[in-house]
Amino acid sequence: APVCNYQILLPEGTDEAIAWRQLKQLEEEDPNLHLSWQVQTREIFIQPMGEVQLEVIKRMVAERYGMDIAFGSATILYQETIEDTVIGMGHFEPLRHYAEVHLKMEPLPRGSGLQFVTECSEDELDLNWQRLILTHLGEKEFTGVLTGSPITDIKFTLIAGRAHLKHTEGGDFRQATYRAVRQGLRQAKSRLLEPMYQFRMEVPMEQIGRVMSDVGKMHGTFRQQPDDGEMSAIEGTCPVASMAGYGTEFAAFTKGRGRMTLSFCGYEPCHNEDEIVKKCKYDPDADVENTADSVFCSHGSGFVVPWNEVAKHVHIDTSIKNRQPAKNTAAAPKEPSKKNSKMSEEKELQAIFERTFGPVKTRVETPAKKVIKAEPGKTKTKEYKPVYEEEYLLVDGYNIIFAWDELKALAAENLEGARAKLMEIMCNYQGFCGCHLILVFDAYKVKGNPGSVEQFHNISVVYTKEAETADMYIEKTTKEIAKKKRVRVATSDGMEQIIILGHGATRISARAFQEEVQRVNGRIAEEVERRTTQS
């Protein structure tokens, strides 16, 4: 993952806007370029995967466009997160507009990314508005309030919202959602995160003390490895910012005999947060494009309420469970019952499969573990009951197998066994949650493979055709289904997550999905025990 940001220095007299369009063409060919454009300063920045990529880009630009570009000094890419749970509130009500959104924001473990879920009742806010709010949460890169860096490791839960029958438009919820996120960030205790390197250094034994001292000065941690009599090694982690330029110094004092390897290992709390925040000089109140204030209406005109006073003016009290709709506000008319349209939804999914692979065949299997389904009406727990009665879940099979430790260990010995184990797990999960579950496996390397889709108990199992990866199939299917249905995709593929968000689907990482499956398995075990006791 990119950890540094470089300004692209254009030749004198070059039009920045034209250069930006040309560079964007390169980014479309290689999405790993990560280009950005600062409108105010008309500056172009790049987040490369390494210094080698900078040289490659420099040569490509010169060959294709005849521009001799250069790069400014590197700046570290920080991130921000929160350390406590808050409720962010956003209200947008200029004259003849109306939307209000309440989001519960909770910190997540390091590396979890952002998660978006809803616990809002359809009686309070229509399903379409809820989908729209989740889309707005996923479409924007929200920035923190310390340095304006991107936020991460936060779970957003939609707990309340309100629309007006006549005055609410789609853009109103975008404004209310953005303001709710920022208002929550202003309330929360924020923490600055910095990128970390995992390193291994091998040096002559007489220089190991110097290396240990250097790592300590750079605010790193290490552990010494067994030596071989001539060379000694240490392994550990260290902030990327502290190790800038250390490679040259390392080569000099070891006289070329030492070896050092670095790899990005995630983000951790910044060791000099106060210094970085002070140096950045970011003022969240002056950032009008990412405001935390809300807009209310009084006597026919709108007025702005500062973020720290919004709670006194909002129209929903999220501290009361049984809230009643306020006068003149209501959820938009509900969609037809999904139970009545279940058959048409299954036919629609069947048609998509048949267009891709041909007729669906039933998989013949030996007796498998019994799949326990929750009885309709018996599952009352709010935590696990799907918010929508109908949901599609697409699972990237091999991505999940190699992300879950248990399945990864099994795959090392028997890949077929790991695949069968995942299929059983997904059957149990689907039986409890009741969603349409599609498990996708790569088979693109199998020569002449036409692809297939099989019905395995209560889930659909897809094997992609030759030259088609699971990513490609999921992106294509998501684009079709997400037009009318709610779709979630379980994968930790970063590029795939970005694409499916653009199609209107929501994402869940492999780690978060594993935790969700474990919770469901716990509920199944409780249900089995309860029935056993009753009998």
Domain with residue 103: its CATH number is 3.30.230.10
Residues 434 and 523 in one domain: yes
Amino acid type, 159: I
Q: How far apart are CA 79 and CA 272, in angstroms?
A: 14
Residue 503 lies in a domain: yes
pLDDT value at residue 344 = 56
Within this chain, do residues 191 and 167 fall inside the same structural domain, yes or no? yes
Sheet holding 392-396, edge to edge: 361-362, 452-456, 459-463, 436-441, 392-396, 487-490, 506-508
**Helical segments of 265-404, H only:** 273-280, 342-357, 397-401
Residues 362 and 292 both lie in one domain: no
Last residue of a domain, one of 332, 362, 381: 332
By the 8 A CB rule, do 134 and 115 touch?
no
Please say which residue of 303, 332, 361 terminates a domain. 332
For residues 304 and 346, state if they share a domain. Answer: no
Exposure string of 429-449, with b = 16+ CB inside 10 Å and e = fewer, is: bbbbbbbbbbbbbbbbeeeee
| pTM of the entire predicted model | 0.56
430: in domain: yes
Domain boundary among 77, 93, 126: 77
Is there a domain that residue 306 lies in? yes
- How far apart, in whole angstroms, are the C-alpha atoms of residue 252 and residue 202? 14
The answer on 57 and 84 residing in a single domain is no
Nearest Cα neighbor of 36 from 12, 69, 8 is 8
Question: What does R_g of the chain's alpha carbons equal in angstroms?
Answer: 27
Residue with tokens 């030492």: 258
The secondary structure element, H or E, covering residue 157 is: strand 154-163
What backbone torsions phi and psi does residue 106 show, to the nearest 5 degrees? -125, 140
On whether both 173 and 60 belong to a single domain, the answer is no
DSSP class of residue 318?
T
Q: Do 182 and 132 have their domain in common?
A: yes
Q: Is residue 392 in some structural domain?
A: yes
Which 3-state string (H, E, C) describes 432-486?
HHCCEEEEEECCCCCCCCCCEEEEECCEEEEECCCCCCHHHHHHHHHHHHCCCCC
Answer yes or no: do 239 and 116 share one domain.
Answer: yes
Let me know: does 513 contact 418? Beta carbons within 8 Å.
no
Range of the domain at 34: 4-77
Is residue 337 situated within a structural domain? no
Q: Tokens for 267, please give them.
A: 């983000």
Q: Report yes or no on 455 lying in a domain.
A: yes
Q: Under 8 Å CB-to-CB from 362, ≥6 apart: which residues? A: 454, 455
Count of CB atoms situated within 10 Å of the CB of 278: 11
pLDDT in tens, the chain (535 residues): 677 888 899 999 888 889 998 898 888 887 777 888 877 678 898 988 777 788 888 998 999 899 999 998 888 899 999 999 999 999 999 988 999 999 999 999 999 999 999 999 998 999 999 999 999 999 999 999 999 999 999 999 999 999 998 889 878 999 999 999 999 999 999 999 999 999 999 999 888 889 999 999 999 999 988 877 788 999 999 999 998 888 888 989 988 889 999 888 999 999 999 999 999 899 999 988 899 999 999 887 889 999 999 999 999 987 643 344 443 444 444 444 444 445 555 666 666 666 555 565 555 444 544 555 555 554 444 444 444 447 889 999 988 998 899 998 898 888 888 999 999 999 999 988 888 999 998 875 566 677 788 898 889 999 888 767 788 888 888 888 877 788 889 988 766 666 666 666 788 888 889 999 999 888 888 888 888 887 6
Measure the CA–CA gap between 114 and 181, rounded to whole angstroms.
Answer: 12
Query: Into how many domains does the chain fold?
Result: 3
Distance of CA 5 to the CA centre of its chain: 21
Q: Are residues 90 and 9 in the same domain?
A: no
Task: For residues 382 and 300, state if they share a domain.
Answer: no
Asked if residues 265 and 196 have their Cβ atoms less than 8 Å apart, the reply is: yes
The answer on 189 and 290 residing in a single domain is yes
Q: How far is Cα 316 from Cα 163, in angstroms, rounded to an integer?
A: 11
Residues 304 and 193 in one domain: yes
Residue 313 burial by Cβ neighbours in a 10 Å radius (0-12, 13-18, 19+): middle
